[in-house]
Structure 1
């Protein structure tokens, strides 16, 4: 058995129309389809919802549920905001910078460009409070990824034992820290 890929990833939204409008305008995603029912098909609970699907490129689908009868959306306050996020790949750094300029022109606060050595990213929040990352590969991504691949199991094992950051990949953000 082997998974064939992710069919879709679903999150909650405050307002389905606002969410579709934002993702189509800010990230140029296509609005694929909407499903709305008064009962949840899997559990048969009476619970009206709007389920929207957006084209995230290359067969990837991002979906949202608007749940008007449920309490206002919240988040896990024990998890820092930077941890839980959706990351989308863009072609290259020029496109990443173009997205940054487009988002900022449209009033979105953007953090970055952050250099992670193997890729470069910008970060911002959608109108639902979900953190979004756009990432592009570094020109040296393949070689740098091989370097990380060579130490991944050792790093995981050391982390599992100590719960302290292993030093096998200190080089990854060294140039960023050197500029601070």
Structure 2
């Protein structure tokens, strides 16, 4: 066993020296049935120039770099992280296979109002804690020679808009909680094919209680979303037991 393998094994152990398993982290706590994701852990964006992205987010927006390492389980690919807030990051994935040029209206929108392929990121908005902070961010961005549109008052938030490296369409905003009684437009609801009963269900999603035994991996249903891999690869991934998948990628920091 090499020194790296030994460190890897040590970092995968419990205090008692045995390998750390998923069940070691499972406390048996029962979350509330209305559990849902509580925020964005990280939003991953493709890049061909990691340094330019980290420089922009650090110098222009003040976000510190928190991680830069080989992407786990992906050959020849870097993964970088800048911090937006504790527990919330923007990440960049640099692969030699990333196409360098945008296809307007397909891969990139170019601004917060233009069309782009369904499922692609139209624009990304990051948050500040007050209107004064929003104005400070506007001035910081402009001080770096970058044009800013706004602020604009959307009612539930106030926003500024600008561009980032590799044609990112960006927004900084300050806002408040959305009141669904005021911000769900019946006309738009109807145009989306959502009736009043369906909207009530969307406003109040059904809860879920975790069963005593893990739910089995379902068979592939072509009518439901699935990750895009060649079918034999997808089948192999989805048939791998969870306990085995746990050990498939590196999980130790690159610097001891």
TM-score (norm: length of structure 2): 0.52
1:50 and 2:78 matched = yes
1:7 and 2:35 matched = no
Query: How far is 1:75 from its partner?
Result: 4.0
Q: SS in structure 2 opposite 1:135?
A: strand
User: How is 1:1-180 mapped onto 2 (pairs within 5 angstroms)?
Assistant: 2-36=36-70, 41=73, 47-75=75-103, 77-78=105-106, 80-81=109-110, 82-83=112-113, 84-137=122-175, 141=176, 145-146=178-179, 148-150=180-182, 152=184, 154-161=186-193
Query: How far is 1:152 from its partner?
Result: 1.9
Q: Looking at CA atoms only, which structure, 1 or 2, has the larger radius of gyration?
A: 2
Q: After superposition, what is the alpha-carbon deviation per residue over 1:19-55, rounded to whole angstroms, capped at 9, x for unaligned?
A: 1111011111111111225xx72xx6xx411110110
- Coordinate RMSD, CA, aligned: 2.5
Query: How far is 1:155 from its partner?
Result: 4.7
Once residues 118 and 70 of structure 1 are traced to their aligned partners in structure 2, the CA distance between those partners, rounded to angstroms, is 36
Contact 1:14 1:73 in 2 (8 A): no
TM-score (norm: length of structure 1): 0.71
Q: SS in structure 2 opposite 1:18?
A: helix
Contact 1:48 1:69 in 2 (8 A): no
Once residues 52 and 160 of structure 1 are traced to their aligned partners in structure 2, the CA distance between those partners, rounded to angstroms, is 37
Q: SS in structure 2 opposite 1:32?
A: strand
Contact 2:61 2:140 in 1 (8 A): no
Query: How far is 1:105 from its partner?
Result: 1.3
Contact 2:40 2:88 in 1 (8 A): yes
Q: How many residues align?
A: 150
Once residues 89 and 124 of structure 2 are traced to their aligned partners in structure 1, the CA distance between those partners, rounded to angstroms, is 12
Specify which structure has the higher proportion of strand: 1
Q: Which runs of 5+ in 1 are unaligned?
A: 163-180
